[in-house]
Amino acid sequence: MDNGLQQDKIYVTRSLMPSYEEYIEEIKPLWDSHWLTNMGAYHQQLETKLAEFLDVQNVSLTANGHMALELTLQALDLPEGGEVITTPYTFISTTHAIIRNGLQPVFCDIKDNYTIDETKIENLITEKTVAIVPVHVYGNICNINAISEIASKHELKVVYDAAHAFGERFHGQPVAGFGDASVFSFHATKVFHTIEGGAVCSNDHTIYDKMYNLKNFGIRSEDTVVAVGANAKMNEFQAIMGLCNLRHIEDAITHRKQLYEQYISILKDTQWLTLNSPDKDIAYNYGYFPVLFKDAKQRDFIYEELQKQDIYTRKYFYPLTCDALCFEEKFNACDLTRARDFSQRVLVLPLYPDLTPEQVERIAKSLIEAGGKCI
């Protein structure tokens, strides 16, 4: 069977995997214990190891990142109908988590680094505002100090969607400790993953405690149900994938960094292209390589041209979450000039640890060539 062509396809990401032998060896004990889920030994072990690695007091593991976000908002007991200031420049999960809690998203525009524009937050605060849900987009960190000041002044909760910021530090401080809670996704496409999975991180033990109830039906012992919880537990196969991947995460990030720098060296002088430049004070995880084109026409043209060469980039994030079909035209009135502009001009290029330098060169050169046909 000739699948040579198939192998040449380059997707925007490719899941990190431990060796087959490493994973198989680690899951073998499950055939003795038959303990496959319900906060088993591996679930507990991964919570402890991640708390150490992320430098935060509590890590509560969940079945996926979305449930981590949705249940964290629930854990904060925010009043029904309350307004939550957030960004539309994110994955749809952020917005859905707010709405599925009976809360109202209020969309704020973004800055040059794609994160929420903290200078526009206060204008959006009303009597009904209860929380802020910012996102560390592409691993660029939000202005945590300004957001924290606004939150204390107006007595608002802050939950960071940190799905893109695994393992990062900002001015030496671990990202997992920001806000009332910081939430990670460990989906297969993320820098660190557990196949599907997520975590709620906090230095406040009450959040860990409430999350335990919310992810396990509120069951605290065989005959005691203390809360109306859902089911969002991480199972043992997921936790073991996490324990294996955690052994290799530093190598994976180092490899990402090399490829990232190679992209920059090839693309930096291309006049019609804007590259992301993460703040120097971030210990960055090199999760994504977003580029901005001149306009939507050029972006869409290059996207198509690269696909013809089996290079699959992503329009990420496009459309804005507030423009999703399911919301019809409900959020049309928001002033989101920059978010709308960026979402029409952005592409995320392939970046994953086992991408080769030859492939990076092929992608970058094809992009320059295609762009040259549409300036």
Nearer to ligand PLP, 93 or 216 (CB): 93
Q: How far is the CB of 303 from ligand PLP (least distance, A)?
A: 20
At residue 358, what are phi and psi to the nearest 5 degrees? -65, -40
* CA 354/CA 257 separation, integer angstroms: 12
Q: Are the beta carbons of 342 and 292 closer than 8 angstroms?
A: yes
C-beta of 58 vs 93, nearer to ligand PLP? 93
Tokens at 254, concatenated: 């180092």
Query: Cβ closer to ligand PLP: 140 or 298?
Result: 140
Q: Which residues pair with 159 in a beta bridge?
A: 181
User: What does the binding site for ligand PLP look like in residue numbers (CB under 6 A)?
Assistant: 64-66, 90-91, 93-94, 135, 161, 163-164, 185, 187, 198
- Residue 12's closest CA among 368, 349, 355, 365? 349
Residues 107/87, Cβ–Cβ less than 8 Å: yes
Phi, psi of 278 (to 5 degrees): -60, 145
User: Which of 53, 160 has the CB closer to ligand PLP?
Assistant: 160
SS3 letters across 42-88 = HHHHHHHHHHHHHCCCEEEEECCHHHHHHHHHHHCCCCCCCEEEECC
State the minimum distance, in angstroms, from the CB of residue 63 to ligand PLP.
9
Task: Report in angstroms how near the CB of residue 39 gets to ligand PLP at its nearest.
Answer: 19
d(CA 130, CA 114): 23
Shorter beta-carbon distance to ligand PLP: residue 93 or 213:
93
Q: Could you tell me which of 144, 160, 163, 165 has the C-alpha nearest to residue 253?
A: 165
**Whole-number Å distance between alpha carbons of 200 and 220:** 19
Residue whose beta carbon is closest to ligand PLP: 65
- What angle in degrees, to the nearest 10, is found between the helix axes of 65-75 and 205-215? 120
DSSP state of 302: H
Instruction: Choose between 159 and 360: whose C-beta lies nearer to ligand PLP.
Output: 159
Which is closer to ligand PLP, CB of 91 or CB of 107? 91
